[in-house]
């Protein structure tokens, strides 16, 4: 219900507030009088609060006409206050007062007056409308929070430039390693062979030392030959693959670049490549 519709409804059902007659002076009359003064000054929320206190101060049974009349005035003033500033506190206060009043009437056989029933309907409608607005505001706030989170999310790093020579470099490194191992075998065979040759020359012919040195010399000679064959082949192939792989990567890097990108409302980096 919009403010204009509510105000129209209130004006249509406006009460002509007239002085009540109290049998005895006391807090009810005091609260009522102060509420009347606030109402006449257009201070509806304050008037409603005074009249609510008057309702609670009435020391009569559930069928009290005084309580019913002031109750009607208080609810009307709360609704007028909400119409003026749309502060939901006025509606909540009206609802709380109405709940207290209905609890008092429960089981007494006294029904709500037509005027108070009309106010109750308006209060329920306003609370439903307020709840819908608050839910919509909450939804929009969540959407805005998600949008801000997306806007502040760090940009994903650009993809690394493609390295087509990587497999060749890996293969070349493996072959080069084997070739280096071959050099080790070659050197081991040469050194071992020299040692065996020395023992062979110094041993007595036909002795165990002689035969052992001879056998070791033959083994070391085989190792040296094997290392001599493996080393140049694998080193040559490995180094060749390394060179080719490095050249391929260098060429790919020249055809691609990571560049800053700017535009209306955004900034970042971009990746470009030529094929």
Tell whether 268 is covered by a domain: no
Shared domain check, 117 and 7: yes
Q: pLDDT value at position 94? A: 96
Q: Which residues contact 54 (CB under 8 A, 6 or more apart)?
A: 27, 28, 31, 32, 35, 70, 74
Please give the Cα distance from 99 to 91 (Å, whole number).
12
Contact 46, 54 (CB under 8 A): no
What DSSP character marks residue 258? E
Contact 88, 128 (CB under 8 A): no
What DSSP character marks residue 156? P
Shared domain check, 90 and 17: yes
Contact 154, 38 (CB under 8 A): no
Shared domain check, 235 and 178: yes
pLDDT of the chain, 275 residues: tens digit per residue: 333 333 334 333 334 444 555 554 589 999 999 999 999 999 999 999 999 999 999 999 999 999 999 999 999 999 999 999 999 999 999 999 999 999 999 999 999 999 999 999 999 999 999 999 999 999 999 999 999 888 887 877 766 666 777 787 787 788 788 778 868 877 876 787 788 788 777 877 778 777 787 787 788 788 778 867 877 887 777 688 777 867 776 776 665 544 454 455 444 444 444 54
Tell whether 212 is covered by a domain: yes
Tell whether 125 is covered by a domain: yes
Coil vs helix vs strand at 130: helix
Token pair in block for residue 90:
């006025």
Please give the Cα distance from 94 to 180 (Å, whole number).
93
Please give the Cα distance from 214 to 193 (Å, whole number).
10
Domains identified in the chain, total number:
2
Domain that holds residue 132: 3-136
pTM of the model: 0.52
Please give the Cα distance from 38 to 34 (Å, whole number).
6
Tell whether 254 is covered by a domain: no
- The Cα-based distances of 170 to 23, 24, 54, 100 in angstroms read 107, 106, 93, 84
Shared domain check, 13 and 100: yes
- The Cα-based distances of 86 to 6, 9, 76 in angstroms read 11, 15, 14
What DSSP character marks residue 176? H
Contact 41, 81 (CB under 8 A): no
Token pair in block for residue 72:
């009607």
Shared domain check, 183 and 71: no
């Amino acid at each position: 219900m919009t403010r204009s519709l509510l105000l129209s409804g209130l004006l249509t059902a406006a009460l002509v507030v007239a002085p009540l007659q109290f049998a005895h002076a006391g807090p009810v009359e005091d609260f009522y009088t102060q509420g009347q003064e606030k109402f006449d000054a257009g201070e509806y929320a304050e008037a409603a609060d005074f009249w609510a206190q008057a309702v609670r101060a009435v020391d009569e049974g559930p069928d009290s006409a005084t309580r019913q009349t002031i109750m009607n005035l208080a609810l009307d003033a709360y609704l007028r206050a909400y119409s003026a500033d749309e502060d939901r506190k006025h509606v909540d206060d009206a609802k709380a007062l109405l709940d207290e009043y209905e609890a008092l009437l429960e089981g007494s056989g006294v029904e709500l007056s037509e005027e108070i029933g009309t106010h109750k309907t308006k209060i329920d409608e306003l609370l439903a409308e307020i709840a819908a607005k608050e839910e919509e505001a909450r939804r929009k706030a969540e959407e805005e929070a998600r949008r801000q989170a997306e806007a502040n999310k760090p940009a994903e790093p650009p993809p690394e430039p493609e390295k087509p020579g990587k497999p060749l470099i890996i293969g070349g490194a493996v072959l080069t390693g084997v070739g280096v191992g071959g050099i080790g075998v070659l050197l081991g065979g040469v050194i071992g062979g020299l040692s065996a040759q020395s023992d062979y020359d110094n041993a007595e012919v036909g002795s165990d030392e002689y035969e052992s040195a001879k056998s070791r010399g033959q083994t070391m000679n085989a190792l040296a030959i094997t290392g001599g064959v493996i080393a140049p082949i694998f080193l040559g192939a490995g180094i060749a693959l390394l060179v080719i792989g490095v050249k391929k990567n260098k060429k790919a890097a020249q055809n691609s670049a990571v560049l800053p990108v700017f535009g209306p409302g955004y900034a970042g980096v971009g990746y470009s490549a030529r094929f």
